[in-house]
Structure 1
Amino acid sequence: MKLRIATYNIHKGVSAFGRKARIHGIKEAIDLLQADLVFLQEVQGQHDHHAELHTHWPQEGQHDFLAGESHHAAYGMNAVYEHGHHGNALLSRYPISSFVNHDVSDHAYEQRGILHAVVRVAEVDVHCFVIHLGLFAASRRRQVQALIQAIKKDLPADAPLIIAGDFNDWGKRLSHTLYQELGVFEAFDIDASHGASRFSLKGMRSMFGKNTSKHARTFPASLPWFCLDRVYLRGFKVSDATVMTGAPWSALSDHVPITANLELLEKTPSK
Protein backbone atom coordinates (compact mmCIF):
# COMPACT_ATOMS: atom_id res chain seq x y z
CA MET A 1 0.00 0.00 0.00
CA LYS A 2 1.43 3.38 -1.03
CA LEU A 3 0.96 6.64 0.86
CA ARG A 4 1.92 10.21 0.07
CA ILE A 5 2.37 12.37 3.15
CA ALA A 6 3.33 15.95 3.94
CA THR A 7 4.20 17.95 7.04
CA TYR A 8 3.87 21.74 7.22
CA ASN A 9 3.96 24.50 9.82
CA ILE A 10 1.46 26.99 8.39
CA HIS A 11 2.17 29.93 10.76
CA LYS A 12 -1.54 30.25 11.62
CA GLY A 13 -2.39 31.09 8.01
CA VAL A 14 -1.06 34.64 8.16
CA SER A 15 2.11 36.55 7.25
CA ALA A 16 4.53 37.90 9.84
CA PHE A 17 2.68 39.91 12.52
CA GLY A 18 -0.64 38.81 10.99
CA ARG A 19 -0.78 41.62 8.46
CA LYS A 20 -1.80 39.52 5.46
CA ALA A 21 -4.00 36.45 5.24
CA ARG A 22 -2.29 33.46 3.62
CA ILE A 23 -4.77 30.74 4.47
CA HIS A 24 -6.44 30.59 1.04
CA GLY A 25 -3.10 30.35 -0.72
CA ILE A 26 -2.03 27.66 1.74
CA LYS A 27 -5.15 25.64 0.97
CA GLU A 28 -4.52 25.85 -2.77
CA ALA A 29 -0.88 24.85 -2.32
CA ILE A 30 -1.68 21.92 0.00
CA ASP A 31 -4.29 20.66 -2.47
CA LEU A 32 -1.61 20.61 -5.17
CA LEU A 33 0.54 18.29 -3.03
CA GLN A 34 -2.10 15.55 -3.42
CA ALA A 35 -1.06 14.07 -0.08
CA ASP A 36 -3.05 11.31 1.60
CA LEU A 37 -1.93 12.47 5.05
CA VAL A 38 -1.01 16.05 5.96
CA PHE A 39 0.60 16.79 9.34
CA LEU A 40 0.00 20.46 10.22
CA GLN A 41 1.33 22.70 12.96
CA GLU A 42 0.25 26.17 14.12
CA VAL A 43 -3.28 25.59 12.91
CA GLN A 44 -5.74 28.27 14.01
CA GLY A 45 -8.84 26.63 15.42
CA GLN A 46 -10.31 30.04 16.17
CA HIS A 47 -9.05 33.62 15.95
CA ASP A 48 -11.65 36.34 16.37
CA HIS A 49 -9.25 39.19 15.58
CA HIS A 50 -8.16 37.69 12.25
CA ALA A 51 -11.78 36.99 11.37
CA GLU A 52 -12.60 40.68 11.89
CA LEU A 53 -9.48 42.00 10.15
CA HIS A 54 -9.26 39.81 7.04
CA THR A 55 -11.91 39.64 4.33
CA HIS A 56 -13.10 36.10 3.53
CA TRP A 57 -11.45 34.63 6.63
CA PRO A 58 -12.80 31.04 6.94
CA GLN A 59 -15.77 30.71 9.27
CA GLU A 60 -14.72 27.22 10.34
CA GLY A 61 -11.45 26.23 12.00
CA GLN A 62 -8.46 26.07 9.68
CA HIS A 63 -8.24 22.28 10.03
CA ASP A 64 -11.75 21.87 8.62
CA PHE A 65 -11.20 24.56 5.99
CA LEU A 66 -8.00 22.92 4.74
CA ALA A 67 -9.54 19.44 4.83
CA GLY A 68 -12.38 20.50 2.54
CA GLU A 69 -14.38 17.69 0.98
CA SER A 70 -11.41 15.42 0.24
CA HIS A 71 -9.98 14.78 3.71
CA HIS A 72 -11.03 13.97 7.26
CA ALA A 73 -9.58 16.21 9.98
CA ALA A 74 -8.40 15.78 13.57
CA TYR A 75 -7.40 18.82 15.63
CA GLY A 76 -5.49 19.05 18.90
CA MET A 77 -5.96 22.40 20.67
CA ASN A 78 -2.76 23.49 22.43
CA ALA A 79 -2.47 27.26 22.96
CA VAL A 80 -5.62 28.96 24.26
CA TYR A 81 -6.02 32.72 24.58
CA GLU A 82 -8.81 35.28 24.93
CA HIS A 83 -9.50 35.63 21.20
CA GLY A 84 -8.99 32.02 20.09
CA HIS A 85 -6.72 29.00 20.06
CA HIS A 86 -4.31 27.06 17.85
CA GLY A 87 -2.68 23.65 17.77
CA ASN A 88 -1.78 20.69 15.56
CA ALA A 89 -3.96 18.92 12.99
CA LEU A 90 -3.98 15.86 10.78
CA LEU A 91 -5.75 15.77 7.42
CA SER A 92 -6.43 12.27 6.09
CA ARG A 93 -8.02 10.78 2.98
CA TYR A 94 -8.52 7.64 5.04
CA PRO A 95 -10.92 7.29 7.97
CA ILE A 96 -9.57 8.51 11.31
CA SER A 97 -10.53 5.81 13.81
CA SER A 98 -9.65 7.84 16.90
CA PHE A 99 -7.49 10.69 18.09
CA VAL A 100 -6.23 12.14 21.35
CA ASN A 101 -4.14 15.20 22.18
CA HIS A 102 -1.37 14.72 24.75
CA ASP A 103 -0.53 17.85 26.73
CA VAL A 104 3.27 18.07 26.89
CA SER A 105 3.51 21.70 28.01
CA ASP A 106 6.77 22.10 29.87
CA HIS A 107 6.30 25.53 31.45
CA ALA A 108 3.77 28.35 31.68
CA TYR A 109 5.11 30.26 28.68
CA GLU A 110 4.62 27.54 26.04
CA GLN A 111 1.51 25.41 25.56
CA ARG A 112 2.48 22.35 23.56
CA GLY A 113 0.68 19.15 22.59
CA ILE A 114 1.23 15.98 20.59
CA LEU A 115 -1.73 14.87 18.49
CA HIS A 116 -2.05 11.09 18.14
CA ALA A 117 -4.48 9.96 15.45
CA VAL A 118 -5.13 6.39 14.31
CA VAL A 119 -5.78 6.11 10.58
CA ARG A 120 -7.14 2.92 9.03
CA VAL A 121 -5.17 2.09 5.86
CA ALA A 122 -5.67 -1.19 4.01
CA GLU A 123 -7.03 -2.86 7.16
CA VAL A 124 -3.99 -1.74 9.14
CA ASP A 125 -3.98 0.87 11.91
CA VAL A 126 -1.35 3.51 11.14
CA HIS A 127 -0.47 5.61 14.18
CA CYS A 128 0.15 9.25 13.26
CA PHE A 129 1.76 11.68 15.70
CA VAL A 130 1.73 15.40 14.86
CA ILE A 131 4.56 17.19 16.67
CA HIS A 132 5.43 20.79 17.51
CA LEU A 133 8.08 20.83 20.21
CA GLY A 134 9.22 23.69 22.43
CA LEU A 135 11.80 26.38 21.83
CA PHE A 136 14.13 25.25 24.65
CA ALA A 137 16.37 22.19 24.38
CA ALA A 138 15.52 20.84 27.84
CA SER A 139 11.80 21.12 27.06
CA ARG A 140 12.24 19.26 23.78
CA ARG A 141 14.09 16.42 25.48
CA ARG A 142 11.33 16.01 28.06
CA GLN A 143 8.63 16.23 25.37
CA VAL A 144 10.32 13.54 23.28
CA GLN A 145 10.52 11.31 26.35
CA ALA A 146 6.79 11.83 26.89
CA LEU A 147 6.21 10.81 23.26
CA ILE A 148 8.35 7.69 23.65
CA GLN A 149 6.61 6.67 26.86
CA ALA A 150 3.15 7.09 25.31
CA ILE A 151 4.10 5.02 22.26
CA LYS A 152 5.65 2.23 24.30
CA LYS A 153 2.69 2.17 26.69
CA ASP A 154 -0.18 2.38 24.23
CA LEU A 155 1.02 0.81 20.95
CA PRO A 156 2.12 -2.67 19.87
CA ALA A 157 5.88 -2.84 19.39
CA ASP A 158 5.51 -3.38 15.63
CA ALA A 159 2.72 -0.86 14.99
CA PRO A 160 3.34 1.31 11.89
CA LEU A 161 4.33 4.83 12.96
CA ILE A 162 4.52 8.22 11.32
CA ILE A 163 5.87 10.96 13.58
CA ALA A 164 6.01 14.27 11.74
CA GLY A 165 6.11 17.96 12.41
CA ASP A 166 8.17 20.88 13.66
CA PHE A 167 10.74 19.60 16.14
CA ASN A 168 12.52 22.96 16.65
CA ASP A 169 15.65 20.82 16.93
CA TRP A 170 18.23 23.27 15.62
CA GLY A 171 21.19 21.07 16.59
CA LYS A 172 19.72 17.74 15.36
CA ARG A 173 20.12 16.25 18.84
CA LEU A 174 16.87 14.30 19.16
CA SER A 175 17.13 11.79 16.34
CA HIS A 176 19.44 9.26 17.98
CA THR A 177 17.05 8.99 20.95
CA LEU A 178 14.11 8.24 18.66
CA TYR A 179 16.17 5.74 16.63
CA GLN A 180 17.22 3.81 19.71
CA GLU A 181 13.95 3.91 21.64
CA LEU A 182 11.38 3.45 18.87
CA GLY A 183 13.25 1.79 15.98
CA VAL A 184 12.29 4.57 13.59
CA PHE A 185 14.25 6.23 10.78
CA GLU A 186 13.94 9.72 9.32
CA ALA A 187 12.79 10.22 5.75
CA PHE A 188 15.97 12.06 4.70
CA ASP A 189 18.44 9.76 6.43
CA ILE A 190 21.23 8.07 4.50
CA ASP A 191 19.76 5.07 2.62
CA ALA A 192 16.30 5.79 4.06
CA SER A 193 14.74 3.93 1.15
CA HIS A 194 16.04 0.69 2.61
CA GLY A 195 13.74 1.15 5.56
CA ALA A 196 13.98 -1.35 8.38
CA SER A 197 17.08 -3.04 7.01
CA ARG A 198 19.22 -0.18 8.34
CA PHE A 199 17.82 0.09 11.88
CA SER A 200 20.55 -2.01 13.42
CA LEU A 201 23.40 -0.07 11.81
CA LYS A 202 21.77 3.24 12.66
CA GLY A 203 21.29 2.14 16.24
CA MET A 204 24.95 1.17 16.56
CA ARG A 205 26.08 4.52 15.16
CA SER A 206 23.82 6.52 17.42
CA MET A 207 24.91 4.54 20.48
CA PHE A 208 28.43 5.84 19.90
CA GLY A 209 27.13 9.40 19.65
CA LYS A 210 27.72 9.85 15.93
CA ASN A 211 25.04 11.90 14.22
CA THR A 212 24.76 10.49 10.68
CA SER A 213 21.33 12.03 10.06
CA LYS A 214 20.84 14.21 7.00
CA HIS A 215 17.61 16.03 7.73
CA ALA A 216 15.94 18.49 5.37
CA ARG A 217 16.42 22.25 5.61
CA THR A 218 12.99 23.84 5.99
CA PHE A 219 13.40 27.18 7.82
CA PRO A 220 13.22 30.07 7.07
CA ALA A 221 11.06 29.68 4.00
CA SER A 222 12.77 32.40 2.00
CA LEU A 223 16.15 30.66 2.29
CA PRO A 224 15.79 27.30 4.11
CA TRP A 225 18.82 26.57 6.25
CA PHE A 226 17.74 25.03 9.57
CA CYS A 227 16.52 21.43 9.82
CA LEU A 228 13.43 21.94 11.98
CA ASP A 229 10.81 19.77 10.30
CA ARG A 230 11.06 15.97 10.32
CA VAL A 231 9.31 12.76 9.31
CA TYR A 232 10.17 9.68 11.39
CA LEU A 233 8.87 6.29 10.27
CA ARG A 234 8.45 2.69 11.33
CA GLY A 235 6.87 -0.02 9.19
CA PHE A 236 7.35 1.89 5.94
CA LYS A 237 9.77 2.14 3.05
CA VAL A 238 10.51 5.57 1.54
CA SER A 239 10.62 5.85 -2.24
CA ASP A 240 11.45 9.57 -2.19
CA ALA A 241 11.29 12.65 0.04
CA THR A 242 11.26 16.28 -1.07
CA VAL A 243 11.53 19.76 0.41
CA MET A 244 9.03 22.07 -1.32
CA THR A 245 11.15 25.20 -1.83
CA GLY A 246 10.57 28.22 -4.04
CA ALA A 247 7.20 29.57 -5.18
CA PRO A 248 4.57 29.49 -3.86
CA TRP A 249 5.99 28.08 -0.60
CA SER A 250 8.49 30.85 0.12
CA ALA A 251 5.66 33.39 0.50
CA LEU A 252 3.06 31.37 2.42
CA SER A 253 4.62 30.58 5.81
CA ASP A 254 7.93 30.87 7.67
CA HIS A 255 8.52 27.13 7.06
CA VAL A 256 8.41 25.11 3.84
CA PRO A 257 6.73 21.69 3.77
CA ILE A 258 8.22 18.24 3.36
CA THR A 259 6.60 15.53 1.25
CA ALA A 260 7.41 11.82 1.21
CA ASN A 261 6.14 8.88 -0.80
CA LEU A 262 5.89 5.78 1.35
CA GLU A 263 5.09 2.12 1.00
CA LEU A 264 3.46 0.36 3.92
CA LEU A 265 5.39 -2.83 4.61
CA GLU A 266 3.44 -6.07 4.80
CA LYS A 267 1.84 -6.62 8.17
CA THR A 268 -0.82 -8.87 9.59
CA PRO A 269 -4.12 -6.92 9.46
CA SER A 270 -5.21 -5.41 12.77
CA LYS A 271 -8.19 -7.03 14.48
Structure 2
Amino acid sequence: MKLRIATYNIHKGVSAFGRRARIHAIKEAIDLLDADLIFLQEVQGQHDLHAIRHPHWPGQSQHDFLAGDSHHSSYGMNAVYDHGHHGNALLSRYAIAASTNHDVSDHAYEQRGILHSVIKAPAADIHCFVIHLGLFAASRRRQVQALITEIQNSLPPDAPLIIAGDFNDWRNHLSTSLYEHLGVREVFDDGQHRALHSLLPLRKNTIKTGRTFPAGLPWLSLDRVYVRGFAVQQAQVLSGAPWNKLSDHVPIVATLEFLAPVISDHA
Protein backbone atom coordinates (compact mmCIF):
# COMPACT_ATOMS: atom_id res chain seq x y z
CA MET A 1 0.00 0.00 0.00
CA LYS A 2 1.27 3.45 -0.92
CA LEU A 3 0.42 6.67 0.91
CA ARG A 4 0.90 10.25 -0.21
CA ILE A 5 1.14 12.51 2.83
CA ALA A 6 1.78 16.18 3.50
CA THR A 7 2.39 18.46 6.46
CA TYR A 8 1.69 22.19 6.39
CA ASN A 9 1.47 25.10 8.82
CA ILE A 10 -1.28 27.22 7.24
CA HIS A 11 -0.85 30.34 9.44
CA LYS A 12 -4.59 30.33 10.29
CA GLY A 13 -5.49 30.89 6.64
CA VAL A 14 -4.60 34.59 6.66
CA SER A 15 -1.70 36.86 5.74
CA ALA A 16 0.45 38.61 8.34
CA PHE A 17 -1.74 40.44 10.86
CA GLY A 18 -4.82 38.87 9.27
CA ARG A 19 -5.24 41.54 6.61
CA ARG A 20 -5.93 39.14 3.73
CA ALA A 21 -7.83 35.87 3.76
CA ARG A 22 -5.91 33.09 2.04
CA ILE A 23 -7.92 30.09 3.16
CA HIS A 24 -9.65 29.61 -0.22
CA ALA A 25 -6.32 29.64 -2.10
CA ILE A 26 -4.89 27.25 0.50
CA LYS A 27 -7.77 24.85 -0.10
CA GLU A 28 -7.20 24.94 -3.87
CA ALA A 29 -3.49 24.27 -3.40
CA ILE A 30 -4.06 21.45 -0.89
CA ASP A 31 -6.59 19.80 -3.20
CA LEU A 32 -3.96 19.74 -5.95
CA LEU A 33 -1.59 17.81 -3.67
CA ASP A 34 -3.89 14.78 -3.96
CA ALA A 35 -2.64 13.57 -0.57
CA ASP A 36 -4.17 10.73 1.43
CA LEU A 37 -3.15 12.24 4.78
CA ILE A 38 -2.56 15.93 5.48
CA PHE A 39 -1.12 17.08 8.82
CA LEU A 40 -2.07 20.72 9.47
CA GLN A 41 -0.98 23.23 12.09
CA GLU A 42 -2.39 26.65 13.06
CA VAL A 43 -5.85 25.66 11.90
CA GLN A 44 -8.61 28.07 12.87
CA GLY A 45 -11.50 26.18 14.43
CA GLN A 46 -13.33 29.46 14.94
CA HIS A 47 -12.48 33.15 14.48
CA ASP A 48 -15.39 35.56 14.80
CA LEU A 49 -13.32 38.63 13.88
CA HIS A 50 -12.04 37.13 10.62
CA ALA A 51 -15.59 36.07 9.78
CA ILE A 52 -16.72 39.70 10.14
CA ARG A 53 -13.69 41.24 8.38
CA HIS A 54 -13.53 38.91 5.35
CA PRO A 55 -16.77 38.64 3.34
CA HIS A 56 -16.03 35.19 1.93
CA TRP A 57 -14.73 33.64 5.15
CA PRO A 58 -15.90 29.98 5.37
CA GLY A 59 -18.97 29.42 7.49
CA GLN A 60 -17.49 26.22 8.92
CA SER A 61 -14.27 25.41 10.77
CA GLN A 62 -11.13 25.44 8.64
CA HIS A 63 -10.46 21.71 9.07
CA ASP A 64 -13.94 20.84 7.80
CA PHE A 65 -13.67 23.40 4.99
CA LEU A 66 -10.30 22.05 3.85
CA ALA A 67 -11.47 18.43 4.14
CA GLY A 68 -14.41 19.07 1.82
CA ASP A 69 -16.12 15.97 0.45
CA SER A 70 -12.91 14.02 -0.17
CA HIS A 71 -11.45 13.68 3.32
CA HIS A 72 -12.43 13.00 6.90
CA SER A 73 -11.04 15.39 9.53
CA SER A 74 -10.04 15.49 13.17
CA TYR A 75 -9.15 18.61 15.15
CA GLY A 76 -7.27 19.31 18.36
CA MET A 77 -8.12 22.66 19.93
CA ASN A 78 -5.07 24.19 21.59
CA ALA A 79 -5.26 27.99 21.87
CA VAL A 80 -8.59 29.47 23.05
CA TYR A 81 -9.43 33.18 23.09
CA ASP A 82 -12.50 35.42 23.27
CA HIS A 83 -13.18 35.38 19.52
CA GLY A 84 -12.26 31.80 18.69
CA HIS A 85 -9.65 29.07 18.86
CA HIS A 86 -7.03 27.27 16.78
CA GLY A 87 -5.00 24.06 16.89
CA ASN A 88 -3.84 21.08 14.85
CA ALA A 89 -5.86 19.02 12.38
CA LEU A 90 -5.60 15.87 10.32
CA LEU A 91 -7.32 15.31 6.98
CA SER A 92 -7.64 11.68 5.91
CA ARG A 93 -9.05 9.89 2.87
CA TYR A 94 -9.57 6.91 5.17
CA ALA A 95 -11.93 6.69 8.11
CA ILE A 96 -10.66 8.07 11.41
CA ALA A 97 -11.32 5.43 14.06
CA ALA A 98 -10.31 7.51 17.08
CA SER A 99 -8.81 10.89 17.91
CA THR A 100 -7.36 12.37 21.10
CA ASN A 101 -5.72 15.73 21.74
CA HIS A 102 -2.96 15.79 24.36
CA ASP A 103 -2.28 19.11 26.07
CA VAL A 104 1.49 19.63 26.22
CA SER A 105 1.44 23.35 27.06
CA ASP A 106 4.62 24.12 28.94
CA HIS A 107 3.71 27.57 30.28
CA ALA A 108 0.83 30.03 30.29
CA TYR A 109 1.96 31.97 27.20
CA GLU A 110 1.94 29.10 24.67
CA GLN A 111 -0.92 26.65 24.32
CA ARG A 112 0.35 23.54 22.55
CA GLY A 113 -1.15 20.15 21.85
CA ILE A 114 -0.40 16.85 20.12
CA LEU A 115 -3.28 15.41 18.09
CA HIS A 116 -3.29 11.60 17.93
CA SER A 117 -5.61 10.03 15.35
CA VAL A 118 -5.94 6.38 14.35
CA ILE A 119 -6.53 5.88 10.63
CA LYS A 120 -8.31 2.80 9.24
CA ALA A 121 -6.14 2.30 6.16
CA PRO A 122 -6.58 -0.83 4.00
CA ALA A 123 -3.28 -2.41 5.03
CA ALA A 124 -3.33 -1.57 8.73
CA ASP A 125 -4.34 0.94 11.37
CA ILE A 126 -1.95 3.90 11.22
CA HIS A 127 -1.24 6.08 14.24
CA CYS A 128 -0.87 9.72 13.18
CA PHE A 129 0.47 12.43 15.48
CA VAL A 130 0.12 16.08 14.44
CA ILE A 131 2.72 18.24 16.19
CA HIS A 132 3.22 21.95 16.82
CA LEU A 133 5.91 22.46 19.44
CA GLY A 134 6.84 25.55 21.44
CA LEU A 135 9.21 28.39 20.65
CA PHE A 136 11.60 27.65 23.52
CA ALA A 137 14.12 24.80 23.40
CA ALA A 138 13.43 23.58 26.94
CA SER A 139 9.70 23.45 26.20
CA ARG A 140 10.28 21.47 23.02
CA ARG A 141 12.43 18.93 24.83
CA ARG A 142 9.73 18.35 27.44
CA GLN A 143 7.00 18.18 24.79
CA VAL A 144 8.92 15.61 22.74
CA GLN A 145 9.50 13.57 25.87
CA ALA A 146 5.75 13.66 26.54
CA LEU A 147 5.20 12.44 22.96
CA ILE A 148 7.72 9.61 23.37
CA THR A 149 6.18 8.54 26.68
CA GLU A 150 2.65 8.53 25.24
CA ILE A 151 3.67 6.43 22.23
CA GLN A 152 5.69 3.96 24.29
CA ASN A 153 2.87 3.52 26.81
CA SER A 154 -0.09 3.30 24.42
CA LEU A 155 1.18 1.77 21.15
CA PRO A 156 2.70 -1.60 20.30
CA PRO A 157 6.41 -1.16 19.48
CA ASP A 158 5.84 -2.15 15.83
CA ALA A 159 2.66 -0.12 15.21
CA PRO A 160 2.79 1.90 11.95
CA LEU A 161 3.47 5.47 12.93
CA ILE A 162 3.62 8.92 11.31
CA ILE A 163 4.63 12.00 13.32
CA ALA A 164 4.47 15.26 11.37
CA GLY A 165 4.18 18.97 11.91
CA ASP A 166 5.94 22.15 12.96
CA PHE A 167 8.66 21.23 15.43
CA ASN A 168 10.25 24.71 15.63
CA ASP A 169 13.50 22.74 15.95
CA TRP A 170 15.78 24.69 13.60
CA ARG A 171 18.95 23.26 15.19
CA ASN A 172 17.72 19.67 14.82
CA HIS A 173 18.16 18.80 18.49
CA LEU A 174 15.09 16.54 18.73
CA SER A 175 15.62 13.97 15.99
CA THR A 176 18.12 11.91 17.96
CA SER A 177 15.67 11.23 20.80
CA LEU A 178 12.89 10.27 18.39
CA TYR A 179 15.17 7.89 16.49
CA GLU A 180 16.55 6.24 19.58
CA HIS A 181 13.29 5.84 21.54
CA LEU A 182 10.72 5.31 18.78
CA GLY A 183 12.69 3.74 15.92
CA VAL A 184 11.46 6.33 13.41
CA ARG A 185 13.05 7.82 10.31
CA GLU A 186 12.82 11.40 9.03
CA VAL A 187 11.63 11.29 5.42
CA PHE A 188 14.60 13.27 4.06
CA ASP A 189 17.19 11.19 5.90
CA ASP A 190 18.68 8.63 3.53
CA GLY A 191 21.52 7.77 5.93
CA GLN A 192 19.47 6.58 8.89
CA HIS A 193 20.43 2.88 8.64
CA ARG A 194 24.12 3.71 8.57
CA ALA A 195 23.76 6.08 11.51
CA LEU A 196 21.63 3.77 13.63
CA HIS A 197 23.88 0.74 13.19
CA SER A 198 27.19 2.56 13.46
CA LEU A 199 29.43 2.00 16.45
CA LEU A 200 29.46 5.77 16.88
CA PRO A 201 26.63 7.52 18.75
CA LEU A 202 23.80 8.89 16.62
CA ARG A 203 24.41 12.63 16.24
CA LYS A 204 21.90 15.31 15.33
CA ASN A 205 24.00 16.53 12.40
CA THR A 206 23.82 13.10 10.71
CA ILE A 207 20.04 13.31 10.31
CA LYS A 208 18.85 15.17 7.23
CA THR A 209 15.74 17.38 7.21
CA GLY A 210 13.94 19.67 4.74
CA ARG A 211 13.99 23.47 4.81
CA THR A 212 10.49 24.97 5.06
CA PHE A 213 10.71 28.46 6.63
CA PRO A 214 10.31 31.29 5.74
CA ALA A 215 8.12 30.60 2.74
CA GLY A 216 9.72 33.24 0.50
CA LEU A 217 13.20 31.73 0.86
CA PRO A 218 13.13 28.55 2.98
CA TRP A 219 16.35 28.00 4.91
CA LEU A 220 15.23 26.83 8.36
CA SER A 221 14.15 23.24 8.98
CA LEU A 222 11.09 23.76 11.17
CA ASP A 223 8.72 21.16 9.74
CA ARG A 224 9.35 17.43 9.93
CA VAL A 225 7.87 14.05 9.04
CA TYR A 226 9.01 10.97 10.99
CA VAL A 227 7.77 7.51 10.03
CA ARG A 228 7.91 3.95 11.32
CA GLY A 229 6.73 0.91 9.38
CA PHE A 230 7.06 2.64 6.01
CA ALA A 231 9.66 2.91 3.25
CA VAL A 232 10.13 6.44 1.96
CA GLN A 233 9.90 6.53 -1.82
CA GLN A 234 10.07 10.29 -2.25
CA ALA A 235 10.12 13.44 -0.12
CA GLN A 236 9.93 17.03 -1.34
CA VAL A 237 9.64 20.57 -0.01
CA LEU A 238 7.17 22.52 -2.15
CA SER A 239 8.79 25.94 -2.49
CA GLY A 240 7.96 28.64 -5.01
CA ALA A 241 4.52 29.56 -6.37
CA PRO A 242 1.86 29.28 -5.11
CA TRP A 243 3.23 28.16 -1.75
CA ASN A 244 5.45 31.19 -1.14
CA LYS A 245 2.35 33.43 -1.00
CA LEU A 246 -0.05 31.34 1.09
CA SER A 247 1.59 30.97 4.53
CA ASP A 248 4.85 31.69 6.31
CA HIS A 249 5.78 27.99 5.93
CA VAL A 250 5.88 25.79 2.84
CA PRO A 251 4.64 22.19 2.93
CA ILE A 252 6.45 18.87 2.84
CA VAL A 253 5.04 16.08 0.67
CA ALA A 254 6.18 12.46 0.87
CA THR A 255 5.24 9.17 -0.78
CA LEU A 256 5.40 6.20 1.58
CA GLU A 257 5.06 2.47 1.07
CA PHE A 258 3.69 0.35 3.88
CA LEU A 259 6.11 -2.35 5.08
CA ALA A 260 4.27 -5.53 5.96
CA PRO A 261 5.44 -7.04 9.27
CA VAL A 262 7.77 -10.01 8.98
CA ILE A 263 6.05 -13.17 10.27
CA SER A 264 8.34 -15.85 11.61
CA ASP A 265 7.93 -19.46 10.43
CA HIS A 266 7.87 -20.45 14.10
CA ALA A 267 5.08 -18.05 15.04
Output one character per residue of 1:157-212: Cα deviation in whole Å (capped at 9) or x when no partner: 000000000000011100001000000010001246xxxxx2x7326477353521
Equivalent residues in 2 for 1:1-271, closer than 5 Å: 1-191=1-191, 198=193, 201-202=195-196, 204=198, 207-209=201-203, 211-267=205-261
Flag the 1:238–1:205 CA change in 2: closer, same or farther, 3 A.
farther
> Unpaired segments of 5 or more residues in structure 2?
none
Aligned partners of 2:195 and 2:202 also within 8 Å: no
Distance in 1 between residues matched to 2:232 and 2:202, nearest whole Å: 26
Cα RMSD between the aligned structures?
A: 1.5
Output one character per residue of 1:124-179: Cα deviation in whole Å (capped at 9) or x when no partner: 11000000000000000000000000000000000000000000001110000100
Distance in 1 between residues matched to 2:216 and 2:199, nearest whole Å: 34
Aligned partners of 1:2 and 1:263 also within 8 Å: yes
Flag the 1:210–1:204 CA change in 2: closer, same or farther, 3 A.
farther
Flag the 1:206–1:42 CA change in 2: closer, same or farther, 3 A.
farther
| Displaced runs of 4 or more, over 4 A | 203-206
Query: What secondary structure sits across from 2:225 in the alignment?
Result: strand
Amino acid at match of 1:131: I
Amino acid at match of 1:100: T
Distance in 2 between residues matched to 1:204 and 1:166, nearest whole Å: 29
Aligned partners of 2:123 and 2:258 also within 8 Å: no
Output one character per residue of 1:193-239: Cα deviation in whole Å (capped at 9) or x when no partner: xxxxx2x7326477353521121000000000100000000000011
Query: What secondary structure sits across from 2:59 in the alignment?
Result: coil
Please report how far the alpha carbon of residue 55 of structure 1 lies from its aligned counterpart in structure 2 after TM superposition: 1.2
Aligned partners of 1:7 and 1:258 also within 8 Å: yes
Aligned partners of 1:79 and 1:111 also within 8 Å: yes
The percent identity for this pair of structures is: 70
Amino acid at match of 1:249: W
Aligned partners of 2:191 and 2:206 also within 8 Å: no
Query: What secondary structure sits across from 1:239 in the alignment?
Result: strand
Query: What secondary structure sits across from 1:211 in the alignment?
Result: helix
Aligned partners of 2:195 and 2:206 also within 8 Å: no
Output one character per residue of 1:244-268: Cα deviation in whole Å (capped at 9) or x when no partner: 0000000000000000000011138
Flag the 1:258–1:135 CA change in 2: closer, same or farther, 3 A.
same
Distance in 1 between residues matched to 2:257 and 2:55, nearest whole Å: 41
Distance in 2 between residues matched to 1:214 and 1:90, nearest whole Å: 25
